[in-house]
Chains A and B, each alone.
Chain A
Amino acid sequence: MLEVKGLSVHYGPIHAVKGIDLRIDRGEIVALLGANGAGKTTALKAIVGLLPYAGEVWYESRRLPQGAAEKMARRGLVLVPEGRGILSRMSVEENLWMGAYVRRDRSAVVRDIAGMIERFPILRERRNAPAGLLSGGEQQMLAIARALLARPRLLVLDEPSLGLAPLMVERVFEIVSDLRRTGLTVLLVEQKARQALSVADRAYVIELGRVSAAGPAAELAHGSALADAFLGGER
């Protein structure tokens, strides 16, 4: 479904992503793991068209154009950004409407928003409140609900557990597991490697802008690649 070949990204003189290859098949949950600063978010931003890059990104058998972030949601590739990207001055409901920005089926959107509020009851009573007043966990629910309203075929979650209380982290991973049951393909970028591997089918470990290990989640969970990536082992 998504294939990344030789992705390379520079931030000025800094070579942040150094030729990584990734593949995600339909219906899979794939985790992209690595320590802070490994290049995970940079790679994601390049894939969704927010940063210029060298290399190729193929999605549903078509090569994605560079710098066309606003076209990705229409193609079914939706990113929930690091830090959640809530539009804090808009109400919760307006944020949900922004999730459906690319859709034209207004009555279906109204139905889907009602459904989403049913699915994430935490949003119901805050429906008309400015989204910036929600707690971190509530904002993460809103960010995921908003992304789902775009009817994605590939959902990219960038560090969804970042800055959340332990209970809320558990809830986020439960939601990711639930998404598997709906058949949605998910690319999950995380620093909480063990929890990410518990919900993923496969994973890539990124270290200093390169893929240092890749394989089935269960294998990576029991190998030493993770410890090396996060604690700086020998290569």
Chain B
Amino acid sequence: MLLQQLINGLTLGAVYTLIALSFSLVMGILGVLNLAIAELFMLGGYCGLTLIIMGHSVWLAVPAAMAVSGVLAVVVERVAYRPLRDAPMIMPLLSTLAFSIIFQNVAVNVWGSDPLQLPDALADARLSLGTASIGIMQLAVIVVTVLLVVALGVIVQSTKLGRGLRAVAENREVARILGAPASRLTTAAFALSGSLAGAAGVLIGFHYAAITPYVGVDTGLKAIAVMVVGGSTRIWGVLIAGPLIGVAEVLSVVYGGSAIRDMVVYGLMILVLLLRPQGVLGGSSMPEGERV
């Protein structure tokens, strides 16, 4: 029973991790919370599940969702962020919120407000692990998450693009005088972030075997909680915080009922904000920016 719930919690936590990484990438470069990410995640889920329902494989659905959400993230950057870069921080926050509402509206108009269901044959397929079992789709969630986190790790830590992103995140002015094209790198951060959100959307569809136009709000807010718990000095803190929150959420439902689920998750976030604002993996203080 406990093992089964741990598996379920880790799967959910894997999705939270990806969306939290998505939030973190933009937050690190700009210090701005891109609220449209929650709905890029939802749209990615719709694109991916639509392809799977049409009979395409997971290995096409995930990259296609990543491409669509990545391109939409660039549109958000060009329209909702770039013109407001020098405005007070609340302005891009509001403009990305507006985009998120528009995206949700688009999804309702295109797919309707009823859940889009994963075919039963896929949703019900399971692998036995002794006393517990894991759904094939849950396995796909974990495998895809691990692959994407490793790929992101390589990009951020070992490539010229990643070095440029980290330099812009730490000191935009210095990065520019060294020749790093800060504006292009910002667009790249949005694209990467949108792609991760798109992949996470497909994975949440696998996890719940369905997707609705409203999944972005709930899951997106929890991903922000993961980002806070993970720490504001290094994005990799979410690798611990994502599974932690996922497991805490699932166990709280099992042992306390679904009514206390959100209390546990957001209570944990408030606790971290009060006791360790730099997060579980943060340093001794909480510097501004410098997340990437």
Residues of A within 8 A of B (CB): 48-50, 69-74, 78-79, 81, 85, 87-90, 94, 97-99, 101-102, 146, 150
Contact = CB atoms under 8 A, between A and B. Distances in A.
Contacts of B179: 70-74, 101-102, 150
A98 B167 contact: yes
B177 A79 contact: yes
Contacts, number: 65
Nearest to B234: A89
A41 to B, nearest CB: 12
Interface in B146-198: 160, 163-164, 166-167, 170-171, 173-182
Nearest to B287: A89
B290 interface: yes
Nearest to B233: A89
A87 B174 contact: yes
Interface in B63-91: none
Most buried by A among B170, B176, B180: B176
Interface of B: 160, 163-164, 166-167, 170-171, 173-182, 290
Contacts of A90: 163, 166-167, 170
A101 B160 contact: yes
Nearest to A50: B173
Nearest to A90: B166
Contacts of B180: 70, 98, 101
Contact of A85 (B163, B164, B177, B181): B177
Nearest to A84: B174
A97 B163 contact: yes
Contacts of B174: 81, 85, 87
A234 B282 CA distance: 55
A81 B170 contact: no
A69 B177 contact: yes
Given A87-B171, A101-B160, A73 B177 contact: yes
A99 B177 CA distance: 9
A85 B181 CA distance: 17
A88 B170 contact: yes
Nearest to B174: A85
28 contacts: A48-B177, A50-B173, A50-B177, A69-B173, A69-B176, A69-B177, A70-B176, A70-B177, A70-B181, A70-B182, A73-B179, A74-B179, A78-B178, A81-B174, A81-B177, A85-B171, A85-B173, A85-B174, A87-B166, A87-B175, A89-B290, A90-B166, A94-B163, A98-B178, A98-B180, A101-B167, A101-B178, A150-B178
Contacts of A146: 178
A50 B166 CA distance: 20
Given A50-B177, A89-B290, 16 more contacts: A49-B176, A69-B177, A70-B177, A70-B181, A74-B179, A85-B177, A88-B170, A89-B166, A90-B163, A90-B167, A94-B163, A97-B163, A98-B180, A101-B167, A102-B179, A150-B179
B164 A101 contact: yes
A38 to B, nearest CB: 21
